[in-house]
Structures are given as C-alpha cells and as structure tokens.
Chains A and B, each alone.
Chain A
Amino acid sequence: MIPHLTKGAIAALITLAVGVICLVLQPAVPWIAKWPAAWVLPATDWVGAGLTWLLEGVKPVARAFSAMMYYPMLWANIALTSTPWPLVIGAVAALGWILGGLSMAALGFLGLSFVLASGYWVESMNTLALVAVSVPLALLLGGAIGVLANEHPRIKSGVQAVLDVMQTVPTFAYLTPLLLLFGFGPVVGLIASAIYAAPPMARNVLLGLERVEPEIKEAAVMSGGTRFQQLFQVEIPSASTQIMVGVNQCLMAALSMVIIAAVIGGFDDIGWEVLLTMRKAQFGQALLAGLVVVVFAVVIDRMSATLAQDRRVTYDRRVAWGVLAVGFLVSVLFWSSLPDPAGFETLQPLADGVDRGLTQFTTANGEWLASMKNGFLFYVLLPLRIGLAQAVLPFTWGFAWTGQMSLVLFSASAVLGVIVALRGNVTLGALLGIAAIVLVTGIANLPWLFVLVGTAALGWVSGGRRLAILSVVLLSTILLSGLWERALLSLYLSGAAVFACAVLGGTIGLLSAISPLVWRVVQPICDMLQTIPLFVFLIPVLMVFQIGEFSAFLAIIAYAIVPMIRYTRHGLTETPAEMLEAATASGATEWQILRDVRAPYAAPTILLGLNQTILYAFAMLVIAALIGTTGLGQSIYLALGQADVGLGISAGAAMAILALIADRMVQGFAEERRRALGL
C-alpha cells in the first residue's frame, strides 16, 4: 500500500533523505557539511571596493547636498532650541487641540511637560529638529514615488520590489555607506531617516490611489478633467485617509531612525543620551531618557493618527489661538526669569531611585535571575545553537552526550516517524526525523546542503518552483560570500525568538479573542509596544539581565510579539457572523466553533501575523547587536564602527535575503490558505 503523497510529504521526505545522507557522509566527506573556506569568494571585499568606487563618484554631489541640508537643519534647530519653552509647549498643545480636541491638547501639554521636567529639553529639541527636516523630505520622496508608480503601471511591480528591499535591509546597514558619503554628523541621520521613512509613505500613497473606486476615477474622466486635474483634484483627495496613514507611519519611521542613527554619534540628541547612559550602566538615567523618547513617539503617533480618522471633527480654532497666546504671554512676561530648560532636575530623584531600587532588586534576586537566565541559555538556547551533541556537558547537564545517545534519539524518532507515517501522516513523520537531526546537530552547525535542500523544499511547497529556485540562488550568494555561519547564527536566534513569539503571542491572541476582558488589558500594551522605538526595548532587559544573548532574545520577543497577538485575535474575531450562526444552528459548542470554524478561517490572517513577526524579529536582531548578539547583526554593527562598507552592505544584504525568503514563504502559505478558503 503506497499512500498518495502530498507535495508537503514529498518535500519533507526529500529533505530528510538529504539530512541523513549528510550525517552519514560527514565523517568521510567533511565538505558536505561545512562549506570549505577555500570555496569562499572574497565577495565582501568586491562589494566594498565596488561601492567605495561608486560612492567616491557620488561623493561631491552628496557633500554638496549635505552642505545644502546644513542650513534647514540649523534653522530648525535654532527655531526649536531658542524658542522659549512655554511657547513650544503652547504651540504643541494648540496643534493637539486642532487635531483632536481636548484629549490631544492634554496629551501634547503633559507629554512636553514631562520632557521639560526630565531635563532633556535641549536634546529632545535637537532630535525634533532632525525629524522636522527629514519628514518633509521623506513625504515628498515617498509621495512622488507613489504617484509615479500609480501613473506608470509598468514600473509598479519594480517599485514595489525596491520598497520591499528598502524596508527589509536593516537600518544599521543604511548607515555605513551614508557615513562614507556624507561624513560624520547629523546629516547622515537625516538622510538615513528620510530614506527609511519614504517607503511607508510611497506604499500608502500607491495603495490609496489604487483603492479609489473605479467609478470615481471614471467620473473625473467624464467630467473632462486633464490627467493632472483628475489626479490632484479627485484621486489624491479621495485617497486622503490612506495617505494620512502613510504620513503617520512616515513620521514614526523617521523618529525611530533618527534615534537609531545616534549610534554614529556626533550629535547631542536624545538617542545619543540613551546610548551614552546605557553604556555607562546608568540605568535610571537611561530609562528616563528612554521614556522621553517614548513620550515623543506617543505624542507624534497619536496626534498624526487623528489625521487618518474617517470622519474628522473640526474644533474651534479660537481655542488653539488662545492656548498659543497663553504660551506666548508666559514667555514674554517671564522672559528674564524663565528657568533654563536644561536645568530641570525634577525627575532626577526618580532616576536615582530607579538606580537604587534596581541595585537592591538585582542583589536581592540576583541568584534567582541568574539561574533563570543560565538555565534558559544552557538548556534551550545553546542546544538549539550548537546541538545536543555539543551542548550537553557534564559541567551543565551533569553528563556528556555520546554517540550512542544520538543513535538512540535517531532510532526513537525514526520508529515514531514510521508509525506516524503508516497511520497516514507522512509529512509529520518525516518532520519528526528532521527535528531529530536539527536537535542533535544544532542550527548553527547544520550541513549547508541540508539547509539548501530544506529551503528549496519549503519554497517549492509554499510558492512553487520559482520560489524554490529564488531561495536557493539567494542563499547560495550568502554561502559564497562567506557569511554563511553568521547567517545561521542570526537564523538561530531570530528563529528561536519567532518560535517563542508564535507560541506566546498566539496564546495571548487566542485568549484576547475569547475574552474581551483580556483584550482590554492587552490592547493598550500592544499599542504601547508598537509605538516605542526599537532602541528603547534594550533598556529594561539590559537593566535586569545585563549584556548577552538572553537579553537580546527577550528584547526581540518584546518587540516582535505584537503582530502575532494582534493578527491572531483579529483573525479569530473577524469570522463572518453568518458562518458563526450556521455553526451555532448546527449545534456546535463554543469550543467546536473555535476549532472548526474560527481557526481555519483565521489561518491566513494568523500567517500574515507570523510574517510580520518574522520581519520585526530580523529588524530587532540588528539593533540587539548593541547588547551582544553574534551573527550578521554584529557584523553590521562592527562594520559601522569601522566604516567598512563592504562588510556592512554584504551583511545587510544577507540579512535582507533571509528576511525576504522568510517573507515570501509565509506569504505563499497564507496565499494558498486564502485560495483554499475562496477569499
């Protein structure tokens, strides 16, 4: 009896076979597992030389541009730092009133008051000045790209691919070539954030224009409008809600990047302050500076989000003028006696208190915390990374791993796999075998041939032959460029984090879907986590667990878990009412409805959530290099420090390749599910 094999089963069996072959032949032909160093091309150097040559050519233009940008930056800086702080606070509150009435005005006022009280006023205004200059650049650039792509359908898919790449290339990787082009200084941060913030704008403009109802476009044509009139009088205004979503995302991306760009230093902004205090292990201070960043993010996000609301209420402008006037009056009346904003130390005791509390906490709980951290490292992360065969040592596990143990594990998994396969589930059976191989060898030590075949198989199942070929070709470039081991290390850490996010986030999402009460607690936390710039995630984990892989692991989870929660809940709660009624009418219990109706219907949405989680994890992985990870993220960070364009770009590209392959595969599975459901 030969059961009819599904695509998945065939792919899994082939992968398993290759894995077994690799394991068996490894002692005899070592190159089958470990890519020989002699086969590595000096691609990194070539990329470096090529790019340096190219950049040298563009350099004069770049330097001229940099000189040009110097002035708007200077003006924005002067305007923000020399304006008396009561007036700035008044202006922000007034803006808040216009955008969202009392609640937004209060948010603006309280937010900036906090900034003032923190003593980081000047640094904050420096950051804000950078954002204020980079955002208009990004909006213009992104808007122009979006409109052009909409006007010329032929370049649309190309533009979309470029936008994809721009958003998957890790942020740090941008910085190295920019550093070479523009030299040290705030202009690099400015340009980087404009480049980084343009894609979301372009994407939303394009999406908005595409989604304008065809009849609205036709009505504009039949009214006798020229193309220009159609576009600017009808299509763009009709798409304004979506475009405003783009503006919001653009602002947030710009802020995030401006803060990240602080790692290159040379500018006294709030990101630099976070970094500096973190390096000096002044965690109370770092937390304070981090909170200032968070406050900025929240204020900017919530205020600009009101622009994208469907029906906007207009608030009485006179109130805004009044608020502004109060700010002005206070500034004028107390002109000479206004306290220096840098001198505020209202929150200093708080920062010191946090420091003290933290020291007490870590000394009191140090043992427990350390044992938790080490336990996780020794029993989960390390085996995943280098395999049971190497990770199980008498020192940690109490015994040494032997060949017999491997053999026992393999046989057990083989027996179990065969049983499962005979009962009809060949795919699961083969996967059991593959899991055993991964467990014993460890992700970082997996034979390259096995990884390549496995990726190809996965690509073939999810997206057909084209995706399989694409994945193999892209992975081979990593292999050839000698970044393979680092890539696997990155894969291991982000893979572990993504897995944890999927389990944890999926559970929280499920609970939130079942109980509105849970969601009411979880939702604001998710909102918060999504608003916080990447950088700030590092502070709390660093405070408790110090530098190391475990801290990075936690930071990645904290950042990447949100989409998993959101999409899981969204998918599970968005089942059409009719389907639920039909299930209820058939006599299904709540649990049966969840399992048989809601979950299958939610599958494509949950997969999209997983996809986002993967991309988020990769993004954070690079940032986490600051607190100690190995792999590509570390290379990118090191390259930045040494201004090594070749390494920076190559490692960045490798990172983008991993993200791209993961993205396409999960999308492929989601697409397949959607098709199966007829959506």
Chain B
Amino acid sequence: MSDTKTPAITCRNVWQVFGPGAETALTDALARSGDDADVAAQELREQGLIPAVQDANFDVQEGELFVIMGLSGSGKSTLIRCISHLLHATGGEIRIDGENIVEASKARLIELRRKKLGMVFQHFGLFPHMTVLDNVAYPLRVQGTKKSDRHAKAREVIELVGLKGREHHYPRELSGGQRQRVGIARSLVADCSVWFLDEPFSALDPLIRRQLQDEFLQIQEKLKTTIVFITHDINEALKLADRIAIMRDGKIVQIGTPAEIVLHPVDDYVREFSKDVAKGQHAHVASVMNTGEAMVYGADDPGLRKDMTLDAALARCMDLYEPVPVHDDSGKVVGVVNPADLAAALQVETP
C-alpha cells in the first residue's frame, strides 16, 4: 500500500469515555500519565468512568476492507460509532479523506453523511412505516431529490441486492436476510465512498449469513468502496478482510492481515481466537518459506507457489521429506520450504 496517498480514514489517539465530565477527566488523566494510554485508562476506571475505546490508532486505505473484531463489550461498536460520528469522540482525531470530522460542524456532518458515508446496522434499523422502496430511497429524500429520480435510483440498488419485486413490501413482511438486504441497499443508494457495517450478518442464520457474505464480496468487487466492517466472528473476519484489527477491553491489540493474525498472534487473547480456525485455508506458503542466500532444496519439485494456501501446498508434498522450492507467478524460485514446517504451521494448539 502506498504511503503517498491520503488514507481514506485516519484514526489518531481516538478515545471514547463514558461518564460525567469525561472530556476533562480524559485530558487530566493523559496529562498525569504522560500520555500513557494504559495508565490513563486505569485511572479513568478508578474514577468510575468507562473508557470504551482507548487510544485507537490506524489508517484505512481507499478501497480497503478493514475489519474490526472483538467480543461483545470490547468497544468495537463504540469505535465504529465514533468514526461515523454517531458518537462524538471524547479525544483524538478522526480524518475522513483528510478532513477531521471530530471538529466538523453539524451542517458539514449532515453534508458528509448525505454524500460520503453509508452505514448498515446489526438489527437493520429499517423504518417500520415505510415500504422497501421508501426505506431505500430515504437518504435521497432527505436531500430533496425528486420523487421519480429517487425511486429510479432506489430500484437500481434494490435490484443490485436481489430484492427486485419486493419494492412495495413493508419490513415486517420480510425475512431477516431480506431485511438486511434492504439495509445494505439503503446504505448504498447515495453512492457512499466510505461504508460502515456494524455486525451486518450477526443476526442471521449461518446459511443466510454465508450467502450474504459472498454477495457482499461481489458488491464490494463492483463498487470498490472503503469499508469498515465490525464482527465478532473470526471466520467472517478472515474471509472478508484485507486487514483485521482485534479489540479487547477498548484497546486495539493487533492489526494485521488475516495470515498475520492467524500465524503470528501477538498474545494469548488473539491466539485464543485463531485457535479453532482452519489455518491452512487462511495462511499462504509465503508466510512460512525461507528466503535468503542459500536456498538448498532437494530433487523433487511439487510446483509450490508462494500464494498457495498451506492446505493446498501440503497436499502436494505430503510424502516428501526434503525441502522443496517455492516459485512466484513467473516461475522463478523465490524461497524454500520444508514440508515438515508446513505441517508444523498448521498445528492447532492443544489446550
């Protein structure tokens, strides 16, 4: 990822503290602790305040699918509400396309939401008194778009999410999966460039969830928007994410690609998450191969490539004991891997 472009979203030292006098308490606590977030958070807790998000720092690049994962109560929903400014962050800086929205005026926020931001909710947040069509067209209605125009646009998005023919149903007449499609369509109707999804599939049955995840990836393929996606499901995170941020007790404990999270968890908490994950499907050969000057390998070449998953690679060299070469797309040898290391990387820790 290039550093020359402005990231789509930047979070710097974002805090969300709940309780009376949170803002002053945070400033004081930070000043006393010399900007040590952990010490400050502890001090705030002792005062009876709740630091729901402490010192969050990350960038999301344009077009990136950034997943924030954590258990309930870890602060992930609070964080996404800070970024979308449904909550006013207690401290820190949140930039969307370079613009600090923590300090944005009310009018500017409305403007931003109309033109740039879209959001999908866990329990859909559909308006019960409006039909599917009116629900989806609502973001255009508040902008004063003409009825025929906004309905035309809404029909387009409704078709995109596969709900054609249900325009005149009311939310209560739809299944959970269909309701969330309406939610997705509504968030897309105004052509947002930053898309917030707060556990969009958590309230759905496993089968429907998978179907919607796949469709979601297809839509993302088409639209290439910047996405912040919240989930508590590690498999969903690994399946969808470009990068994952893992939260615990209001703190981001690790940010990394799915492979990094699975193979190099920073602590036991993250390891616990990835314990039951089929690592072979998420990690690639490149993450375990040796590179360097002396690439010594045996006579057998099972044709491993560096972007193969561990499962696929292991299937090819199950019966080999010597190190084997790894190729890149052009066929050049870029590394060496010992089949035993492949197997070792897959090992699921025993409790």
Residues on A close to B: CB < 8 A?
213, 215-216, 218-226, 229, 233-234, 237-238, 240
B91 at the A interface (CB under 8 A): no
For residue A222, give the distance in angstroms from its CB to the closest CB of chain B: 4
Cross-chain contact A223 with B142 (CB below 8 angstroms): yes
* Number of A-B residue pairs at CB separation under 8 A: 70
Among B113-121, B257-265, B277-285, B307-315, the stretch in contact with A: B113-121
Question: Interface code B166-185, partner A: CB below 8 Å = 1, 0 otherwise?
Answer: 00000000000000000100
Interface presence of B229 (CB below 8 A):
no
Inter-chain CA distance A134–B113, complex, in Å, is 42
| Cβ contacts under 8 Å, A220 to chain B | 127, 138
In the complex, the answer to whether B121 meets A219 with C-beta atoms within 8 Å is yes
Interface mask (B135-169 → A, CB under 8 Å = 1, otherwise 0): 00011011100000000000000000000000000
- Smallest CB separation, A312 vs chain B (Å): 11
CB pair B129–A223 under 8 Å, yes or no, is: no
Please name the 9 residue pairs, one residue from A and one from B, whose CB atoms are nearest each other, closest first. A224-B114, A215-B125, A219-B125, A224-B113, A223-B139, A222-B119, A215-B121, A237-B129, A225-B142
* Pick from A218, A221, A225, A238: contact of B128, CB under 8 Å: A238
Cβ of B113 and Cβ of A237 under 8 Å apart? no
B149 to chain A, nearest CB (A): 16
List 22 A-B residue pairs with CB atoms under 8 Å apart, sorted by A's residue number.
A218-B81, A219-B121, A219-B125, A220-B138, A221-B86, A222-B113, A223-B138, A224-B110, A224-B111, A224-B115, A225-B110, A225-B142, A229-B142, A233-B138, A233-B141, A234-B127, A234-B138, A237-B127, A237-B129, A237-B130, A238-B127, A240-B129
A226 neighbours in B (Cβ, 8 Å) = 110, 142
| B-side contacts of A216, CB under 8 Å | 125-128
Contact B186 A218 (CB under 8 A): no
A451 to chain B, nearest CB (A): 39
Q: Given contacts A224-B110, A234-B127, are A218 and B121 in contact (CB under 8 A)?
A: yes
Q: Which of A213, A225, A229 contacts B125 (CB 8 A)?
A: A213
Q: B172 — nearest CB in chain A belongs to which residue?
A: A311
Any A CB within 8 A of the CB of B190: yes
Chain B residues near A (Cβ < 8 Å): 81, 84, 86, 110-115, 117-119, 121-130, 138-139, 141-143, 183, 186-187, 190, 196
Question: Known contacts A218-B119, A219-B119: does B125 contact A224 (CB below 8 Å)?
Answer: no
Chain A residues, Cβ within 8 Å of B128: 216, 238
Nearest-neighbour CB distance to chain B for A242, whole angstroms, equals: 12
Give A323 to B196 CA distance when docked, in angstroms.
54
Question: Which of B81, B86, B126, B139 sits near A224, CB closer than 8 Å?
Answer: B139
Query: In the assembled complex, which residues on chain B have CB atoms less than 8 Å from the CB atom of A222?
Result: 84, 86, 113, 117-119, 187, 196
Report B-chain residues with C-beta under 8 Å of the C-beta of A213: 123, 125
Cβ-closest chain B residue relative to A237: B129
Residues of chain A within 8 A of B115, CB atoms compared: 224
Q: Is the CB of A221 within 8 A of B113?
A: yes
Chain A residues whose C-beta falls within 8 Å of the C-beta of B130 in the assembled complex: 237
B118 CB contacts on chain A under 8 angstroms? 222
Alpha-carbon distance between A28 and B27 when the two chains are bound, in angstroms: 66
> In chain A, what residue has the closest Cβ to B107?
A226
How far is it, in angstroms, between the C-alpha of A237 and the C-alpha of B126 when the chains are bound?
12
**B186 near A219: Cβ-Cβ < 8 Å:** yes
What is the minimal beta-carbon distance from A229 to any residue of chain B, in angstroms?
5
CA–CA, A223 to B118, complex, Å? 7
**Alpha-carbon distance between A221 and B125 when the two chains are bound, in angstroms:** 11
Shortest distance in angstroms between A157's beta carbon and chain B's nearest beta carbon?
16
B124 touches A224 (CB 8 A): no
- Complex Cα distance, B130 from A213, in Å, reads 15
Q: Is the CB of A215 within 8 A of B142?
A: no
Q: A219 and B127: CB pair below 8 A?
A: yes
Is the CB–CB distance between B122 and A215 below 8 Å? yes
Minimal Cβ-Cβ distance residue in B for A235: B127
User: Considering the chains assembled together, what is the distance between the CA atoms of A78 and B130 in angstroms?
Assistant: 40
Q: Which residues of B contact A240 (CB under 8 A)?
A: 129
The smallest beta-carbon distance between A313 and chain B, in angstroms, is 14
Q: Are A215 and B123 in contact (CB under 8 A)?
A: yes
Is B113 a contact partner of A223 (Cβ separation < 8 A)?
yes
CB neighbours (8 Å) of A234 from chain B are 127, 138
Q: Report how far A23 CA is from B127 CA in the complex, Å.
A: 66
**Distance, CA A224 to CA B143, complexed state (A):** 8
Residues on A with beta carbons closer than 8 Å to the beta carbon of B183 = 219
Contact A224 B190 (CB under 8 A): yes
Provide the bound-state CA to CA distance between A464 and B138, in Å.
Answer: 49
Known: A215-B124, A218-B121, A219-B127. 20 other contacts (CB 8 A): A213-B123, A215-B122, A216-B128, A218-B81, A219-B126, A221-B113, A222-B86, A222-B117, A222-B118, A223-B114, A223-B138, A223-B142, A223-B190, A224-B112, A224-B114, A229-B142, A233-B141, A233-B142, A234-B138, A238-B129
Q: Closest approach, in angstroms, between the C-beta of B110 and any C-beta of chain A?
A: 5
Partner of A218, one of B86, B112, B138, B139: B86
Nearest chain B CB to A307 CB, angstrom units: 14
Task: Give min CB distance, A230 to chain B, whole Å.
Answer: 9
In the assembled complex, the Cα of A216 lies from the Cα of B121 at a distance in Å of: 9
Residues of A within 8 A of B112 (CB): 224
Task: Tell me, rounded to whole Å, the shortest Cβ–Cβ distance linking B24 to chain A.
Answer: 19
A654 to B139, CA, bound (A): 53
Bound state CA distance, A237 and B117, in angstroms?
24
For residue B60, give the distance in angstroms from its CB to the closest CB of chain A. Answer: 18
Cβ contacts under 8 Å, B114 to chain A: 223-224
Complex: A216 Cα to B130 Cα, angstroms: 12
* Docked complex Cα distance between A31 and B183 (Å): 73
A237 to B141, alpha carbons, bound, how many Å?
A: 16
Q: Tell me which residues across on chain B come within 8 A of A233, comparing CB atoms.
A: 138, 141-142
Residues of B within 8 A of A215 (CB): 121-125
A222, A238, A240, most chain B CB atoms within 10 A = A222
Closest to A216 in B: B125
Give the residue name and chain of the A residue nearest to B128 (CB).
Answer: A238
| Closest chain A residue to B129, Cβ basis | A237
A452 to B111, CA, bound (A): 61
Q: What residue of chain A has the Cβ atom nearest to residue B85's Cβ?
A: A221
How far apart are B176's CB and chain A's nearest CB, in angstroms? 14
Chain A residues positioned under 8 Å from B129 (CB to CB) = 237-238, 240
Complex alpha-carbon distance, A183 and B138, angstroms: 51
B-side contacts of A221, CB under 8 Å: 86, 113
Tell me the bound Cα distance from A237 to B128 in angstroms.
8
A238 to B141: give the CA distance in the assembly, Å.
17
Residue of chain A at shortest CB distance from B110 = A224
Interface centre among A215, A219, A240 (most CB of B within 10 A): A219
For residue A236, give the distance in angstroms from its CB to the closest CB of chain B: 10
Least Cβ–Cβ distance between B120 and chain A, in angstroms = 9
Given contacts A237-B127, A240-B129, contact A224 B142 (CB under 8 A): yes
Query: Shortest Cβ distance from A202 into chain B, in angstroms?
Result: 22
Residues on B with C-beta less than 8 A from A237 are: 127, 129-130
> What are the residues of chain B within 8 A of A224 when measuring CB–CB?
110-115, 139, 142-143, 190
Measured CA separation A224–B119 after assembly (Å): 11
A225 and B110 alpha carbons, distance in the complex (Å): 7
